[in-house]
Amino acid sequence: MQPEAQSQVPVPRRSLGQAATTALRVGIAALVMLAGGIAYGVFQYFHSSYWTRVGLAEDQPVLFSHRHHAGQLRIDCRFCHASVESAAFAGMPTVATCLGCHRQVLTDTALLAPVRRSAELGVPLRWTRVTRLPDHVHFHHGVHVSRGVDCGVCHGEVARMALTAKARSLDMRWCVDCHREVAPDAGGREPAPTPTAAAGHLTNCSTCHY
């Protein structure tokens, strides 16, 4: 080994060739676009009705039509959803409520067979939930209805739905938009800039999350 001799040899400056550089640049650009594309795709996925279920009717054991009952027959929402004015849960009608009318009308239609079977066997009727909030959100129907929020604000025009579908995404931005607007103490209709600056409690985190 001769260290001196080695140090005299100039180390060649290594660089990529023209083609490799181009390939690298194209590759980087492709990666960025791919990442952007994935991000866009994910964003679109979570805003798509496939994820939010907005406008998609769920499979139900009985082909119940709100358009017929609430629209054409003009039955009040509260006739079936009885606790909507006082409780957190709007309330589902009991099978006895359904049969209260359907013992007189449409008594033997095949459509209502699951309802009759439920009453005969004493087994509750299990519907598929259309509107659902995440577990860490505490929503109270009573306080919204008593404060004059119409059912349709959140549930859409149920009276025109043959098959019931979710009408709004019910994401947090959508809730908070409304809370900022109607907060009685927040100073008119101006949205409060930050939660803590709002005098009203409606934009506190703990109004819904606890």
Partner 1 sequence: MDRRAFLQAMAASLALAGTGCRGRPPHGIISRVEGTAAVEVEWFATVMPSEGYGRGIVVRTNHGHPTKVEGNPDHPESLGATDVFAQAAILSLHDPVRSRTPRHAGNPATWEQFAEAWEIRRTRFRTNSTPILAILAEPTTSPTWLRQIHALLDDFPSARWYQHAPLGSHSHRGHLPEFDLAQAEVILTVESDLLYRHPAALRHGRALAGRRLSEPGKPLPPRFYAIEAVPSVTGAVADFRLPMAPARLSAILPAVDRCLRDPAAAPGLEPAADGFVRDLADAMRRARGRVVVSAGPACNDRIRDWSDRLNLHYGRDVVRWRRDVRSDRNPRCHGGLADLAAAITVGEIDTLVVCGLNPAYAAARDLRYGELHARIPFTVHLGEHWDETAMLSTWHLPEAHFLESWSDLRGAGGIASIQQPVRLPEAESRNAAELLHYLRSGTTAGSETLVRETWRAAGANDEDRWVSWLQRGIVDEPMHGDEFVTPPEDGTAELPPSVGKADGLSALFTPDPNVLDGRWSANAWLQELPKPLTQLAWGNAILLSPALASRLGVQNGDVLRCSTASGELDAPAWTMAGQADNTVALSLGYGRRSAGPLASGLGYDANLARSAESPWHTAVLALRKTGGHALPVCAQGHFQMDGRDLARVLEPAIASPALAPAHRTSLYPPRAGGNPAWGMSIDLSACLGCNACVLACQAENNIPVVGREQVARGREMHWLRIDRYVTGDPAQPRFVAQPVPCMHCENAPCEVVCPVGATVHSSEGLNDMVYNRCIGTRYCSNNCPYKVRRFNFLDYGGDARAAGGANPRVTIRERGVMEKCTYCVQRINAGRIAAEVAGRPLRDGDVRTACQQVCPASAIVFGNLADPASEVSRRAASPTSYALLDELNTRPRTTYRAALRHPPRP
In the complex, what is the shortest distance from the CB of residue 197 to partner 1, in angstroms, rounded to a whole number?
8
In the complex, what is the shortest distance from the CB of residue 132 to partner 1, in angstroms, rounded to a whole number?
5
Residues lying near partner 1 in the complex (CB under 8 A) are found at: 58-59, 82-83, 85-89, 91-96, 98, 118-119, 122-129, 132, 135-136, 138, 140, 142-143, 146-147, 195-196, 198-201, 203-207, 209-210
Per-residue DSSP letters for 109-123? -GGGHHHHHHHHHTP
In the complex, what is the shortest distance from the CB of residue 66 to partner 1, in angstroms, rounded to a whole number?
15
Q: Which is nearer to partner 1, 22 or 146 (CB)?
A: 146
Q: Which is nearer to partner 1, 25 or 47 (CB)?
A: 47
Read off φ and ψ for residue 30, nearest 5 degrees.
-65, -40
SS3 state of residue 143? helix
Q: Which is nearer to partner 1, 23 or 150 (CB)?
A: 150
How far, in Å, CA of 176 to CA of 166, rounded? Answer: 19
Q: Which is nearer to partner 1, 43 or 45 (CB)?
A: 45
In the complex, what is the shortest distance from the CB of residue 9 to partner 1, in angstroms, rounded to a whole number?
43
CA–CA distances in Å: residue 89 to residues 34, 68, 96, 134: 44, 24, 19, 14
The token pair at 98 is 């359904």
End-to-end CA distance of the chain: 74
